[in-house]
Amino acid sequence: MAPRLPTKDDFPSSCVVSITPPASLPLSYCVILLHGLGDKIAPFTALAQRLNLPRAAVIAIQAPTPMPFDLGGYHWGDDIVFNKDPTASSASNNNDDDDVLSPDAEFNRARKFIWNQVLKDTIVAKCGFKLESEVIIWGYAQGGMVALDIAATQSNLAAVISVGGWIPSFTAPRDIISPPRTSKILITGGDDHSKISKERIQAAEQIWKECVRVQYPRMKSDLMPRNRDEMAPILRFLLRILIPDELKKQGLS
């Protein structure tokens, strides 16, 4: 049975989502967007509309837990975590001894929320998508960490795009699913003060055979793509999954 476009009524009433239909049919894929620490759904709803992807429903999901201390926004972690900033430089105005808010956290609640309520109960059971071949998760920062954690511990997905996120340090080796692990992985980050270290990339490569890193020159820290050139590697990665035949015809695969 062909998958169908999700509606808001398909999701639990507590789940804040936006749904952008595909730019062209047939509907064959579901792309899920997960925001970063302290953010909300609105920027990722706008991103979904700008992407205008063929053959893919794009669903932005808001994290279920509000930030504490009236900080605004939402987060995916079981709790808020502070740690030392490993990218702080002596030339920085920040004191190296200062604790900073970290996206790294335990994601037990996020696993249950994304895996059970979003993926299994809604995207698969109600809408008919196949996890291993038709579901892509694109997360930013803490959202990217959740996406990698889901692909590592719960099920193979068609692909994961993690912008500025790595495998959470709380993801236990015993929880990682057994091979084969077929998810295609793309991890992006900057080249200045990036938290996507060589060791974190190697950890991902040990889990997934198809793991690509994109390092943006002249980008400070690990930001979302800021222009067409920076978005291009992500779009190529996506379109090779969504419309491979069309790309082959154009010699772009």
Residue 13 predicted with pLDDT over 80: yes
* Extended beta strands in 65-111, E state: 65-66, 74-75, 81-84, 99-102
Name which of 183, 196, 186, 167 is nearest 234 in CA terms: 186
By CB atoms closer than 10 A (0-12, 13-18, 19+), residue 101 is: middle
CA distance 233 to 184: 14
Read off the pTM: 0.92
* Average confidence (pLDDT) over 47-72: 94
pLDDT of residue 95: 47
Name which of 225, 241, 106 is nearest 160 in CA terms: 241
Residue 92 predicted with pLDDT over 90: no
pLDDT of residue 98: 61
Domains of the chain listed by start with CATH number: 8-249 (3.40.50.1820)
Residue 173: partners with Cβ closer than 8 Å, 6 or more residues away: none
When pLDDT is cut at 50, 70 and 90, the band that residue 85 belongs to is: low
The answer to whether 42 and 148 have CB atoms below 8 angstroms apart is no
| Residue 239 DSSP SS3 | helix
pLDDT by residue (tens digit) across 193-228? 899 999 999 999 999 999 999 999 889 889 999 999
* Average confidence (pLDDT) over 129-150: 98
* Average confidence (pLDDT) over 60-70: 93
